[in-house]
Amino acid sequence: MQSPFADPVDLRSDTVTKPTPGMREAMARAEVGDDVYDEDPTVHRLQERIAEMLGKEAALFVPSGTMSNQIAVRVHTRPGDEVLLEANCHIYNYEAGAPAVLSHVMCRPIPGRYGVLDVDDLDGMIRPPGEHYAQTRLVCLENTHNRGGGRIFPLENIERICKWAKEHGLRTHLDGARLFNACVATGIPPQRYAEHFDTVSVCFSKGLGAPVGSALCGPRELIQQARRIRKVFGGGMRQAGVIAAAALYALEHHIDRLAEDHANAQLLAQAIREIDGLQLDPPEVHTNIIWFHVRPTVASATQVAQAAKERGVLLGVAGPQTLRACTHLDVDRARVEYAAHVLRAVVAELSGRGTPVELRHDETW
């Protein structure tokens, strides 16, 4: 079976998108200055725009979502403080231990339901005052939740948790790497999610399709401190307008179209549901991320990924039996239909239930 597409259908992550011709043109035209001198007009425009979209006073453009989150952790805490976060969240699991390395804080991971917490999960987790104890200082949530399967964090839970946090003198941060996916899927405007948090991080390099960059948004005074910490972390950038222009272009052109990614994810999820030997986990797909398991008697995740790769479809391997697929700007409906077809064929072949499926180029999926 040979892929009808020139390039692999890359579903490993929504970070693999390449800048579109329009985006590259915007980058080429960008007016620039030295942003460490705070003189890059395009970076200024981006920061003002994203702050306004999130209803925050100020924003800071940074190289990555990890840096954005970790600057927030640093801004909100002092060494020895404790951060409450969901056990499968990105900040705790996928940022190389940065809270310990960069901010000398302890993390207290709290198991959620596909990444979602409610006040009852957190109540009682605040340590008492006294010299024996770390000081609980910060609550971090993630929306959409990556390891939770692109899960949308319900607004009511956010409202309850942030209200509770405020009442107890805790700061709050939202890892909104894919906040716009949640907004497009629910119709809830970004500022309605953001208003409950002290700081919010958003990524331009995921579904929005920019090559690089994230922003940390919040009150002016905190963002001023964040700017200094960005320098400490090595994230001060010079003529960053070139990449800020890509992020501005993405905000202008690539938000509404996230709905296409969500529709494509539904299509792939439905195919996976119907394949004996695969299991969606979570069973419902909210946005653009699909996690699924392959039954051990069929194959390992690596075997499935390898067989799919040979047919021009790239999947993420996330555990011995676990795979991840993300839909994004660079995979259109035809490509997702092809990926579904490949999964069907691969699983049938690996489970020895079918002869290898031959694919004709004129076949429609």
Ligand X SMILES: *Cc1c(COP(=O)(O)O)cnc(C)c1O
Which residues contribute to the site for ligand X (CB under 6 A)?
64-66, 69, 90, 142, 146, 175, 177, 203, 205-206, 214
Q: Which residues of 65-98 are buried (b: 16+ CB within 10 A; e: fewer)?
A: bbbbbbbbbbbbbeeebbbbbbebbbbbbebeeb
Distance CA(337)–CA(360), nearest Å, equals 14
- Give the nearest distance from C-beta 177 to ligand X in angstroms: 3
CB of 218 to ligand X, least distance (A): 16
| Pair type for strands 171-176 and 136-142 | parallel
The side-by-side arrangement of strands in the sheet containing 278-280 is 278-280, 289-294, 322-326, 316-319
Query: Do the beta carbons of residue 66 and residue 97 sit within 8 Å?
Result: no
Helix (H, G, I), strand (E, B) or coil at 278: strand
Which is closer to ligand X, CB of 69 or CB of 77? 69
Q: Which is nearer to ligand X, 205 or 288 (CB)?
A: 205
For ligand X, the closer of residues 23 and 307 by Cβ is 23
Rounded to an integer, what distance in angstroms lies between the CA atom of residue 30 and that of residue 52?
21
Report the C-alpha gap between 82 and 38 in whole angstroms.
33
Nearest distance in Å: CB 351, ligand X: 32
| Position with the least CB separation from ligand X | 65
Complex with ligand X: residue 76 or 311, whichever CB lies closer: 76
Shortest Å distance, C-beta 355 to ligand X = 39
Strand 289-294, strand 171-176: pairing: unpaired
Which of 206, 286 has the CB closer to ligand X? 206
CB of 213 to ligand X, least distance (A): 8
Q: Could you tell me the smallest distance in angstroms from the CB atom of residue 205 to ligand X?
A: 6
Q: Note whether 216 and 199 are within 8 A (CB).
A: yes
Instruction: Answer whether 191's CB lies under 8 Å from 69's CB.
Output: no
Neighbour-count burial for 234-271, b at 16+ CB within 10 Å, e otherwise: ebbbebbbbbbbbbbbbbeebbeebebbbebbbbbbeb
In the complex, what is the shortest distance from the CB of residue 101 to ligand X, in angstroms, rounded to a whole number? Answer: 14
Residue number with CB closer to ligand X (176 or 312): 176
Residue 319, beta-bridge partner list: 322
Rounded to whole angstroms, the Cα distance separating 71 from 225 reads 9
**Shortest gap between Cβ of 133 and ligand X (angstroms)?**
29
What is the pairing mode between strands 289-294 and 278-280?
A: antiparallel
- Residue 89 C-beta: closest distance to ligand X, Å: 7
Identify which of residues 46 and 298 has a Cβ nearer to ligand X in the complex: 46
Q: Cβ closer to ligand X: 206 or 328?
A: 206
CA distance 172 to 262: 28
Which residues, other chains included, contact 321 with Cβ-Cβ below 8 Å and sequence gap of 6+? 293, 294, 295, 296, 300, 301
Q: How far apart are CA 39 and CA 82, in angstroms?
A: 36
Cβ distance to ligand X smaller for residue 47 or 66: 66
